[in-house]
Structure 1
Amino acid sequence: MSVPAPGWVPKLVALDIDGTLLRWVEGSGQTHAEVSDAVADAVRRARAAGAHVVLASGRSPHGMTPVADMLGLDDPEDPVWVVASNGGVVFRYPPMDIVHEHTFDARPAVIAVLEEHPDALVGVEERGRGYRVNRPFPAGELSGDMIETPVEDIVAEPVSRVIIRDPQATAEDFVDLAGRLGLHGTDYVVGWTAWMDLSPVGVSKASGLQQVCDDLGVSAADALAIGDGRNDLEMFAWAGRSVAMGQAIEEVRAAADDVTAPVDEDGAALELGRYF
């Protein structure tokens, strides 16, 4: 595991959301997401010190703005940069101002997956409302409304990201499936469960962050990236320093320059505290 060069301070901080900034806690019989005071304070310190803080997630744009609000990154005089949909959409907030968006024809890949997982759930963001889905996803997995729509209509037009979910399968099932199908014309990432995000070829958190850097005049070598999932691997390879959360799977931990404490122990705050 590498240690930053003496005096190195990141000019850009790329932060995953779920499992990095957000932790899931039980309360009143329900599970809800929260950002600890320590993490929120560390993020605000980094920004106050002049670092460009960028939220980078597989979440859709409307699923990320509430997190920016929770972190106090909601100043219209200084809108925060956000990389959403695993790099498919780059915007500033508030208000939401789409700066870059990549779309693709998802039909062939979706059809190929459904041939092997005919009962899988399919979802595409309906910006500002929620998601168009072929059937409802498990409660709490998608933000906003779920608008039931036939699959052929969901992928009739180019999209920035497609979610495929099979509650009856495992993450390993989807990793094997993607490897066998090849999913030509798309890139993919498999989450903690049997959840697959399909995106345009070459589009990832790393490509979205590079677009932000290009706009800001910042080098990837000056970036710190913190995350915990398979969709952070490209971001880790891109950044000057990459740090995995302590609860991440071994594949993700091994890809990072360093490993911090788990999200329940404010690992992101500990890493940011090294510089800010």
Structure 2
Amino acid sequence: MPARAGARVAGDERHIIALDLDGTVLDNGHLGAGDDPVSGHIDPELGDAIRELHETGHEVVIATGRSVDATLPVVEKLRIRPEWVVAANGAVTLRRDPLAARAYRREFVEAFDPSDALLRIRTRLATARFAVELASGGFLYTEEIPTGTLPSEQRRVPFEELLGVQASRVVVVSPDHRLEEFLDAVSTLGLTHVSYAVGSTSWLDIAPDGVTKASALEVVAEKLGIPASRVFAAGDGRNDLDMLRWAGRLGDSVAMGQAVPEVQQAASRVTGTVDEGGLLAALRDRFPALRP
């Protein structure tokens, strides 16, 4: 069913609606015959609701840990044209090019030299697989890792070639450790990081100092002139913690039902799991015009 046509919201009612992808918008445990593994599965009713919110004037902002290459196909699948997209856990913020309806440019890119982080982690996790996502958009890695949410331009290199580059994030994957063991080892290193599990694999993202989805969204909110009281954010992973806390201070933040307790506690409220349609329920609760 297509999104319903509705009157555009007044300026003082316009919200930022910041949405994580995997486990929030995308239910990748229920891929159908027509679903691409990169763009994932989107419940049709949820897709209609997101489009309706966008088309009536709310600013829907995808806020994901995915690379740019793996994020824009989801924007296409949602059939929306947001002005802003946040990728790489806040290290890359895209802005729609006004001269090309569906083209995006890198408006803000946060970069750092990953050498110190890589060398310190290697002392504790010698069997881990290491990679860096370059500020320019490419991806260098030492051994094969799950790549569905990473850049398409990839090159395998010796560990030493990861040092001294300009990176938007470091990725560390350790198939030999349980997530708890992995995080315990990394916690002693004093690194700025966000972490989450991908399947049964322990996976760590390390961002530039102070860079999170929240820091990127704060800049977007300022550019749009939308106050924090009119921010709605939803997510399910540890990389959503700062976003959920930030949005929940004055606005509304929602943790998905399958999120770990730490993430649920960071949000204003908890909704159903992704396969229960939790995001759609939360959006209908916050925006009554969406209710059937």
Once the two structures are superposed, the pairs formed by residues 1-276 of structure 1 within 5 Å of their partners are: 11-24=15-28, 25=30, 32=37, 33-73=40-80, 75=81, 79-93=82-96, 94-125=102-133, 131-138=139-146, 140=148, 142=150, 144-183=152-191, 187-192=192-197, 193-239=201-247, 240-274=251-285, 275=287, 276=290
Q: Which runs of 5+ in 1 are unaligned?
A: 1-7
The answer on whether the counterparts of 1:10 and 1:223 sit within 8 Å (CA) in structure 2 is: no
Q: Given the superposition, is the C-alpha separation of residues 27 and 272 from structure 1 closer, same or farther in structure 2, using an over 3 Å criterion? A: closer
Report Cα offsets for 1:132-163 as digits up to 9, x if no partner.
Answer: 11111146464525410122222321211111
Gaps of 5+ in 2: 1-11, 97-101
Q: How many residues align?
A: 261
Rounded Cα–Cα distance in structure 2 between residues aligned with 1:139 and 1:87: 19
CA shift for structure 1 position 60: 1.1
CA distance, structure 1, for counterparts of residue 162 and residue 146 of structure 2? 19
How far residue 92 of structure 1 moved from its aligned partner, in angstroms, is 2.1
Secondary structure of the equivalent of 1:90? strand
Aligned-partner Cα distance in 2 for 1:173–1:67: 33
CA distance, structure 1, for counterparts of residue 182 and residue 13 of structure 2: 38
Aligned equivalents of 1:129 and 1:102: distance in 2? 12
The answer to which structure has the higher strand fraction is: 1
Q: Relative contact order, CA 8 A, sep 6+: which one is greater?
A: 1
Corresponding position of 1:4: none
TM-score by length of 1: 0.87
AA aligned to 1:249 is: V
Q: 1:17 to 1:83 in 2, by over 3 A?
A: same
In 2, distance between residues paired with 1:89 and 1:139?
18
The DSSP-based 3-state class of the residue aligned with 2:94 is strand
The letter for the 2-side match of 1:268 is: L
Q: CA deviation at 1:63?
A: 1.2
Shift of 1:260: 0.9
**129 and 56 in structure 1: CA distance in 2 versus 1, 3 angstrom threshold:** closer
- Name the stretch that deviates more: 142-151 or 114-123: 142-151
> Could you tell me how far apart the structure 1 residues matched to 2:110 and 2:135 are?
14
Please say if residues 228 and 247 of structure 1, whose CA atoms lie closer than 8 Å, have aligned partners that are also in contact: yes
Query: Percent identity of the aligned residues?
Result: 37
Distance 1:19 1:225 in 2: 14
**C-alpha offsets along residues 146-203 of structure 1, whole Å, 9 cap, x if unaligned?**
41012222232121111111111122122212221112xxx20110241110111110
1:266 CA drift (Å): 1.6
Change in Cα spacing, 1:71 to 1:198, as seen in structure 2 (3 Å) is same
Asked if the contact 2:89/2:213 (under 8 Å) is kept, the reply is: yes
Partner Cα separation in structure 2 for residue 102 and residue 58 of structure 1? 14
**Structure 1 vs Structure 2 CA RMSD:** 2.2
Q: 1:127 to 1:106 in 2, by over 3 A?
A: closer
